[in-house]
Structure 1
């Protein structure tokens, strides 16, 4: 998979789905979030939790989604010569990455964490991202020893051509997080045709 940059980062634009291709499973796709998990949809009785004060910047070292049994190391990601975001090696399905020239998770602004949905061997670290629901927790252990705790505000799926750059990557006045992987329709020639994005904000810190 590949992420491009123009002004700000845009969607993961190339997700080949080699596992689906080699197994002839083009009609199997990763879980897709329901309409109830969209930013504009609010279930009765559900309220977003108050935001915690942002932390000073510190690089992340582990990324956790307890509901999905995700507990993964984090590597820093920069830009390639073509101005695309370098992504974690596909050979390591349990590795996540963060855009290290952007906002650190827990600091003020919009932090970006990405991970593969699959590789040639099968599902990868963020295969089940589309099953997250509002109010679920995401945790980021940072180099300063603090764990930034986020709550999920929404999970949405987008076609690549309709990816809402400003909505996903735009600046924030509080500590926010976007978690992105591939998803949506699958084409054996060009790979996944969309992305799944989880939106979250900081609600607490564990020392």
Structure 2
């Protein structure tokens, strides 16, 4: 079965997540998540950026201590990153007719998206949240993502009422042309989270050259 084929299930059986097309997500999925910096009033310097990185990541270490047991699958409803004042609803995203990951609607700059063919936040494996960095009206939901620091907390409230709590252990900006997708999205054997938006150098003709990527591991649930 190709990654874009619909999953095959028995009548009444819930569809299983499809195999993620990580290379597609990395190279194409965030085009359009931030290409209008020239429209930002009072934000001429653009969004904050972490230090550049080209490989994964000798200086990054997940939180110490045993990881909590993974949660069953449940779609995320809301993401909160208190240190950068993010509190946003989350919608599921799939693939478009060409097989690329969809973006949240451009008209709602404060909406985040969850790639629904990957694990849900709190499940074993790597969950992926994405969102716009800016819009024609100004900064969008993940404008401040590049300012996030190691040790800070990301809370994802799920539709089952549980909240998965993640600790940030890495944040980098990667050139889209050299994006190490498998290293970023591959399973570590623990419930992990990646949060992405556009970043890096900006060109009015082609938008942002890179993606800001936050790495976080689940440390608790409520």
Cα shift at 1:48:
2.1
Structure 2 counterpart of 1:15 = 32
* Distance in 1 of aligned mates of 2:146 and 2:22: 26
Aligned mates of 1:146, 1:23 — CA distance in 2: 36
Match of 2:154 in 1: 138
Aligned length: 199
- Quick check: 94-103 or 4-13, which moved more? 4-13
Q: What's 1:31 paired with? A: 48
Structure 1 partner of 2:85: 69
1:48 to 57, 60, 63: 63
Larger of the two Rg values belongs to structure: 2
User: CA separation of 1:27/1:71 partners in 2, compared to 1, >3 Å: closer, same or farther?
Assistant: closer
Q: CA-to-partner distance for each residue in 1:73-94, whole Å, 9 max, x for gaps? A: 0000000111100110111111
Q: Report what 2:17 is aligned to.
A: none
SS in 2 for 1:149: strand
Secondary structure in 1 matching 2:25 = strand
Find the aligned partners of 2:33 and 2:92 in 1 and give their Cα distance. Answer: 22
> Which residue number in structure 2 is paired with residue 120 of structure 1?
136
Summarize the alignment of residues 1-207 of structure 1 with structure 2, pairs less than 5 Å apart: 5=21, 9-11=25-27, 12-15=29-32, 17=34, 19-22=36-39, 28-34=45-51, 39-41=57-59, 48-50=63-65, 51-206=67-222
Structure 1 residues 26 and 15, CA gap change in structure 2 (3 angstroms): farther
Unaligned runs of 5+ in 2: 1-19
Kindly indicate which of the two structures has a greater share of residues assigned to strand.
1
Q: Partners in 2 of 1:188 and 1:54 — Cα distance?
A: 43
Q: C-alpha displacement at 1:30, in angstroms?
A: 1.3
Contact 1:26/1:187 (CA < 8 Å) preserved in 2?
Answer: no
